[in-house]
Amino acid sequence: MNKEYLSRLHVAQIKENAKLIRRDITLMEICGGHTNTIMKYGIRDILPKNIRLISGPGCPVCVSSQYDIDCMIRLAEEGIPVATYGDMLKVPGSSATLEKIKAKTGNVFEIYSAEEVIKLKEKYLDIIFFGVGFETTAPMTAYLLENQICVYSVHKLVPPAIKALLSGEVRIDGFINPGHVSTIIGVEPYKEFKIPQVVAGFEPEQILRAINLLTQLIKNKQNIVVNGYTEVVKDSGNLKAQQFLKKHFKISDSEWRGLGKIPLSGLEVRNDKLNAKIKYAKIISKVPIPKKTACRCGEVLKGIIEPKQCPLYKKTCTPTNPKGACMVSAEGSCAISYNYDG
């Protein structure tokens, strides 16, 4: 069956399910990649009126705390070479961005693959890797730790965020779980949450498939998790990557932009000698707690408001001059809304 036909079938079944559910329901897509597909293909517009899709905290650049960004900027300002993924360079800190420090000092490096950091270390012996991302990206940082690279980790875990959202102020009836995070962790970690969940891929047909499955689960009152992305995700996940994560990281409390401190939701470097937060504790201790700004990224990340409701959106905050992290990344809700929703 071709995907266009399947998509039409999903939409027809979603409409049938929506009628039988007979109440308004809210589904949250956690991954920024899903948000991008949903907005790009206008999926929200073709759903029945009683199904509302909201975006969650699934953009790792967006959920990294302002304090961690400020710490990295301070380390780079002190002359310590820093390497990280492209989007992190543009996230505004309290006083600058890593991009500005790069222009000033030349000691901030934008990388695509973690392996590039190993080559950079040949020239910059004390280079730090700013490790950002969910379970999908953390194994690459573990590979760097295996290769004796010093890391400032802000890696975060998705299941504890789901737990925090479930006790939050927005009522959520089901989750579209992230496809590539699940490639690493599998389906098992989601089973503790008694709410309908479907792991989804990133094509429009796969998103519609997930919404179809979620409406069926809600209709049948089945609070279970379904792997809707069996093309890629094994129920047990990638065991080799999981072992690698366990070897190099310990689970710790972590500060999320918008969600605050979530217990046991982060990955901290096990080896103190390779942990930049310990190695450079003296410098980091001088970084002040950031002041609150008018940016409402935090509420966007929790699904409380839509980007358009932020007073800065499209006025002073745009992709070329972002005031908040959600406008920086291609997976940030504000940037996606700016690109596709006008």
Q: Contact residues for another protein (CB under 8 A)?
A: 3, 31-33, 58-61, 85, 87, 112-116, 132-134, 136-137, 139-140, 143, 178-181, 183-184, 202-203, 205, 231-234, 238-241, 244, 329, 331
Distance, CA of 128 to CA of 102 (rounded, Å)? 14
Q: Residues near 208 by Cβ (< 8 Å), separated by ≥ 6?
A: 6, 7, 10, 11, 14, 43
150 within 8 A of 126, measured Cβ to Cβ: yes
The secondary structure element, H or E, covering residue 153 is strand 150-153
73 within 8 A of 104, measured Cβ to Cβ: no
Bridge-partner residues for 83, per DSSP? 109, 129
Measured from the CB atom, the residue of 3 and 171 that comes closer to another protein is 3
Q: How far is the CB of 331 from another protein (least distance, A)?
A: 6
Measured from the CB atom, the residue of 113 and 309 that comes closer to another protein is 113
Tokens of 62: 């967006």
Q: How far is the CB of 155 from another protein (least distance, A)?
A: 11
Measured from the CB atom, the residue of 170 and 232 that comes closer to another protein is 232
Measured from the CB atom, the residue of 35 and 97 that comes closer to another protein is 35
Q: How far is the CB of 115 from another protein (least distance, A)?
A: 6
* Residue 224, φ and ψ in degrees, nearest 5: -130, 170
Q: How far is the CB of 25 from another protein (least distance, A)?
A: 25
Measured from the CB atom, the residue of 23 and 112 that comes closer to another protein is 112
Measured from the CB atom, the residue of 1 and 289 that comes closer to another protein is 1
Q: Which of 18, 330, 59 is nearest to 174 (CA)?
A: 18
Q: How far is the CB of 234 from another protein (least distance, A)?
A: 8
Q: How far is the CB of 255 from another protein (least distance, A)?
A: 18
Residue 79 DSSP code:
T
Measured from the CB atom, the residue of 25 and 31 that comes closer to another protein is 31
Distance, CA of 34 to CA of 235 (rounded, Å)? 20
Contacts 24+ apart (CB under 8 A), 182-185: 182/227, 182/229, 182/233, 182/237, 183/136, 183/232, 183/233, 183/234, 183/237, 183/238, 184/135, 184/136, 184/138, 184/139, 184/237, 184/238, 184/241, 184/242, 184/245, 185/135, 185/158, 185/159, 185/237, 185/242
Measured from the CB atom, the residue of 59 and 287 that comes closer to another protein is 59
Q: How far is the CB of 288 from another protein (least distance, A)?
A: 28
Q: How far is the CB of 83 from another protein (least distance, A)?
A: 13
Bridge-partner residues for 25, per DSSP? 51
Residue 193: CB atoms within 10 A of its CB come to: 18
